[in-house]
Amino acid sequence: MLTIERDIRLAGVGYEGLALDEFIRHLQLAGVTLLVDVRLNPISRKRGFSKTALAGALGDAGIAYEHLRELGNPKWNRAGFGGSAGELANARETYAEGLRSPSASECLDRIAAAAQLRSVALMCFEADEQRCHRDVVLNAVRGRLSFAMSA
């Protein structure tokens, strides 16, 4: 479910199907020290996963929380992530285009910098990372880290 990459300490995680305590336990076992919430709106019908409650529970567990709204997937682009292979490819490309904005680019740089210093997990709801925009974010951050490590 949660895979930390050894050299760059970066992971993606979805809370779909998990209770809050189980979710936090996964993060702790993986050694995550910063959870970056990449949902556009950090609210959830699932108890404990809205911004304030989640930040509090994570803080109690020794995990920092940061919400980066700029990396959220616009509502109008979400259906494609659950669609056919073609729809998924289109939704991923549309989302990736949005990551080129100055504000999103700054957020990606912040995540890359943090991942060089601590274990970072990017969070959204979707359990299947390939069907979530956070996979596009992870790839963009990995690209920045690869560039930084080769420079």
Domain boundaries, the chain: 10-150
> What pLDDT, on a 0 to 100 scale, did the predictor assign at position 25?
98
**87-134 pLDDT tens trace:** 999 999 999 999 999 999 999 999 999 999 999 999 999 999 999 999
**21-31 pLDDT tens trace:** 999 999 999 99
> What pLDDT, on a 0 to 100 scale, did the predictor assign at position 2?
53
> What pLDDT, on a 0 to 100 scale, did the predictor assign at position 146?
79
Q: How confident is the model at residue 151 (pLDDT cuts 50, 70, 90)?
A: very low
**43-100 pLDDT tens trace:** 999 999 999 999 999 999 999 999 999 999 999 999 999 999 999 999 999 999 999 9
Q: What is the SS3 string spanning the chain?
A: CCCCCCCCCEEEEECCCCCHHHHHHHHHHCCCCEEEECCCCCCCCCCCCCHHHHHHHHHHCCCEEEECHHHCCCHHHCHHHHCCHHHHHHHHHHHHHHCCCHHHHHHHHHHHHHHCCCCEEEEECCCCHHHCHHHHHHHHHHHHHHHHHHC
Average pLDDT of the residues of the chain: 93
